[in-house]
Structure 1
Amino acid sequence: MTSAAEHRRPLPTDSEAILNALPNPVLLVAPDGRIVDANIAAESFFEISTQFLRRQSLKELVPFGSPLLALIDQVRSSSSPVNEYKVDLGTPRIGGDRQVDLHVAPLTERPGHIVVMLQERTIADKMDRQLTHRSAARSVIALAAMLAHEIKNPLSGIRGAAQLLEQAASSEDRMLTRLICDEADRIVTLVDRMEVFGDDRPVARGPVNIHSVLDHVKRLAQSGFARNIRFIEEYDPSLPPVLANQDQLIQVFLNLVKNAAEAVADLGSDAEIQLTTAFRPGVRLSVPGKKSRVSLPLEFCVKDNGSGVPEDLLPNLFDPFVTTKQTGSGLGLALVAKIVGDHGGIIECESQPRKTTFRVLMPMFNPAKQFDQSNRDGVPGTPPPASQNAR
């Protein structure tokens, strides 16, 4: 029989370091169902500290009747590893839709102990989507450069000719020349927006208070397109600054809030937009363009209770020209994804009827590291401030 002292014994230091390097949650479950040990990724997944996890029974953390519990019993009796895919481990506390792949195996060195590794589908799928978004963005950059040269110059000639014709045209014909000018302007505006994708110039980044950004965006929205929509704010007041360009962050969240406002426009007094911030200390992801996993502990969400995003559009929602709006250009969310990616972050969308969440994961500001990086790159940076309370 395994002693209580053995239950409490932590994993060896080397093993713990290896486990904490893994991006997937890993649990060691004792014969009585208690969690003996867990890595940092598990702390992030269950949103409680490792110390607290080690005092919990697994039954208290997963949904009632979860297939995971049956799999553990199966592995314990057969002494053979088992894999199960697309299992729902969502609970009201950690989120109602948390689909994972399960890898369950016996720990032969400790009879009755089971190792459980969770691979969250949203995380796995998210990385594939980010790589796809980068590839699509590169295609748009090439297209934008071509359009800027091949379309804008002829359009200026067409518009100038229409203005000359307008001077000698009848009132009825002036409507047609005005239509030519308006449509030429519309195309130029579209091309200008696409040219933003080709702008690879580095921007000055420093410590930004995300709550100041969200408050500013909310004020803009409530004074215009979201005047009759109820806002709910759930902020972590102890959140450290985010490493970002403030103007670009405002552009990101203004776009997301505007989309949310359009999604709830038909709900009348029931229309609701929720803004949340949180610190997720265990979130380390392999971001495209980075050689090693980076820490993205800052989570910012824009949620709405609209009808949701069509399921067939979700995988490509951040690609250029993908839109649910009849009159939309499909460039807004693509630009949002580009800005977030340029900041070393990740954006994802989870949607179902009456609950759509746009989640942005970003790195936090590290004064010493940022100052050193700015000096090496020759990019305008921010020297280490006396305080991290950014404006």
Structure 2
Amino acid sequence: MDQYPTIDYRLLVDNMTTAILLIDSQLNIFYLNSSCEALFDISLLRASGQPVMNLLHAPNDDFNTYEALLNTLKTGQSYTRREATINVNFKDMHVDYSVSQLNTGKPYHPLLMIELNPIDRMLKISKEENLIQQHQVARQLIRGVAHEIKNPLGGIRGATQLLARSLNDPQYAEFTDIIISEVDRLRNLADTMLGSRQLPSYELVNVHEPLERVRALVANQTKKKVKITRDYDLSLPEVKADRDQLIQVMLNVSVNAIQAMTENKNFFVDNQPELILRTRIQRLVTINGTLHRSTLRIDIEDNGLGIPEDIIESVFYPLVTARASGTGLGLSIAQNIMHQHNGMIDCQSVPGKTIFSLYLPWETNHVT
């Protein structure tokens, strides 16, 4: 019988996907594996000897991590935390982690082992699936309402025209014209709520072509009152898409950004309103439960007031808007078009920086 090869257990630990962190009795870092180096973006050489609290920094967490670690050192009692928030490079990260005492054979020099699993991606997937389901339900509801609105509008318009001809009196013509005009406005709104029934006409598209078309339209609309900055990665591959529908999506998002900036002029005291159009490759993006190796990312960024916190989670729902004169349909229609392209739109917003990111898969194969 062949002898098993001698195993270098450090090599084994270094090839684990779970981030492993060892700390000494002074709560200083003793060792971390390759996954842990990647998680915290720090090398073992640089991290060794540093206080572990430098890595487990969580400014907004009420849990006393330091005391919990000391307690495990003293009693040997392990503990686990779910969905804990730690701060890595000034960004919050969500992790599940377990802490246990490691017996080194030296009673006065125990080590603590911390096993960390980042869960941001899983939380994001769950959130996206929930939002997609809610968006689809909302779209169906809106389409149903739009149909119910359109049905009687034709009758109202026809009856008003008959009434106008029957009266044949100029003093009433103004009122019948108002009724017909408002009925037409409602019908146009209902058509917008129903959305386009035309399926995308796919062809190979360089995303910079529709983006440049939108840039020209926006530049003409704003008459140089808004600075438009291009930050393109011209090496991006072509993608199968409907060029006209991409223009509609980009235009809807860009016009929303322009309107948000121009309607809040008091926000711009020391700087000029600016719209940034950016293109990049984004690796490993999950869209509707499918993990794509590579996608095209198109950012439309503005430096306006931002989206109110109370609607940021529902900004793609129909009829949700922060603008008094808005219909709340533009972003909903844009998201629906992106779903037809197996893509999506994501949004991040803080005062002074709002980014709508359009993701388009361009590789036919995906990670399963």
**Which TM-score band (shorter chain)?**
0.7 to 0.9
User: What is the CA–CA distance in structure 1 between the aligned matches of 2:305 and 2:82, rounded to whole Å?
Assistant: 32
Ranges in structure 1 where 5+ consecutive residues have no aligned partner: 20-25, 47-51, 371-391
In structure 2, relative to structure 1, the CA distance for the partners of 1:9 and 1:346 (3 Å cut) is same
Residue 165 of structure 1, CA deviation: 6.4
**Higher RCO (C-alpha 8 Å, min separation 6):** 1
Verify: 1:356 aligned to 2:354, yes or no.
yes
Q: Which of residues 223, 240, 254 in structure 2 aligns to 1:257?
A: 254
User: What is the CA–CA distance in structure 1 between the aligned matches of 2:306 and 2:287, rounded to whole Å?
Assistant: 27
CA contact (8 A) 1:264 1:305 kept: yes
Number of residues of Structure 1 aligned to a counterpart in Structure 2: 330
User: What is the CA–CA distance in structure 2 between the aligned matches of 1:322 and 1:141, rounded to whole Å?
Assistant: 15
In structure 2, relative to structure 1, the CA distance for the partners of 1:7 and 1:84 (3 Å cut) is same
Q: Which of residues 226, 236, 239 in structure 1 aligns to 2:236?
A: 239
Verify: 1:103 aligned to 2:100, yes or no.
no
Which residue of 2 is the match for residue 378 of structure 1?
none
User: What is the CA–CA distance in structure 2 between the aligned matches of 1:166 and 1:38, rounded to whole Å?
Assistant: 82
Is the strand fraction higher in 1 or 2? Answer: 2
Amino acid in structure 2 at the alignment position of 1:129: L
Residue 349 of structure 1, CA deviation: 2.0
CA contact (8 A) 2:85 2:95 kept: yes
Which residue of 1 is the match for residue 5 of structure 2?
none
CA contact (8 A) 2:83 2:119 kept: no
User: What is the CA–CA distance in structure 2 between the aligned matches of 1:34 and 1:167, rounded to whole Å?
Assistant: 92
In structure 2, relative to structure 1, the CA distance for the partners of 1:257 and 1:191 (3 Å cut) is same
Deviates more, 1:322-331 or 1:266-275: 266-275
Amino acid in structure 2 at the alignment position of 1:347: I
Verify: 1:309 aligned to 2:311, yes or no.
no
Match of 1:146, SS state, is helix
CA contact (8 A) 1:102 1:117 kept: yes
Verify: 1:206 aligned to 2:203, yes or no.
yes
Q: Deviations over 1:243-280 (max 9, x none)?
A: 32111111111000000001110336611112222222
Match of 1:190, SS state, is helix
Amino acid in structure 1 at the alignment position of 2:145: L
Match of 2:332, SS state, is helix
Which residue of 1 is the match for residue 119 of structure 2?
119
Q: Which of residues 128, 131, 134 in structure 2 aligns to 1:129?
A: 131
Which residue of 2 is the match for residue 181 of structure 1?
180
CA contact (8 A) 1:63 1:90 kept: no
Which residue of 1 is the match for residue 80 of structure 2?
82
Which residue of 2 is the match for residue 335 of structure 1?
333
Match of 1:284, SS state, is strand
Deviates more, 1:100-109 or 1:114-123: 100-109
Which residue of 2 is the match for residue 383 of structure 1?
none
Which residue of 1 is the match for residue 165 of structure 2?
164
Residue 281 of structure 1, CA deviation: 1.3
In structure 2, relative to structure 1, the CA distance for the partners of 1:175 and 1:249 (3 Å cut) is same
Residue 221 of structure 1, CA deviation: 0.6
User: What is the CA–CA distance in structure 2 between the aligned matches of 1:274 and 1:185, rounded to whole Å?
Assistant: 36
Match of 1:214, SS state, is helix
Q: State the identity as a percent.
A: 22
In structure 2, relative to structure 1, the CA distance for the partners of 1:253 and 1:89 (3 Å cut) is farther
Match of 1:250, SS state, is helix
User: What is the CA–CA distance in structure 1 between the aligned matches of 2:237 and 2:217, rounded to whole Å?
Assistant: 24
In structure 2, relative to structure 1, the CA distance for the partners of 1:196 and 1:296 (3 Å cut) is farther
Which residue of 1 is the match for residue 141 of structure 2?
139
Amino acid in structure 1 at the alignment position of 2:155: P
Q: Deviations over 1:350-375 (max 9, x none)?
A: 22222222222221154xx79xxxxx
User: What is the CA–CA distance in structure 2 between the aligned matches of 1:38 and 1:166, rounded to whole Å?
Assistant: 82
User: What is the CA–CA distance in structure 1 between the aligned matches of 2:349 and 2:257, rounded to whole Å?
Assistant: 12
Which residue of 2 is the match for residue 49 of structure 1?
none
Q: Deviations over 1:6-55 (max 9, x none)?
A: 6566756xx6xxx5xxxxxx64446657763349xx98x99xxxxx8778
Q: Deviations over 1:43-82 (max 9, x none)?
A: 8x99xxxxx877886799x996752699699398557353
Which residue of 1 is the match for residue 108 of structure 2?
none
Q: Deviations over 1:63-111 (max 9, x none)?
A: 96752699699398557353254626364xxxx6x54322113598998
Amino acid in structure 2 at the alignment position of 1:67: H
Amino acid in structure 2 at the alignment position of 1:100: M
User: What is the CA–CA distance in structure 2 between the aligned matches of 1:83 and 1:208, rounded to whole Å?
Assistant: 47
Ranges in structure 2 where 5+ consecutive residues have no aligned partner: 1-7, 24-28, 105-110
Larger Rg: 2
Amino acid in structure 2 at the alignment position of 1:74: L
Q: Which of residues 212, 221, 224 in structure 2 aligns to 1:224?
A: 221
Amino acid in structure 1 at the alignment position of 2:139: A
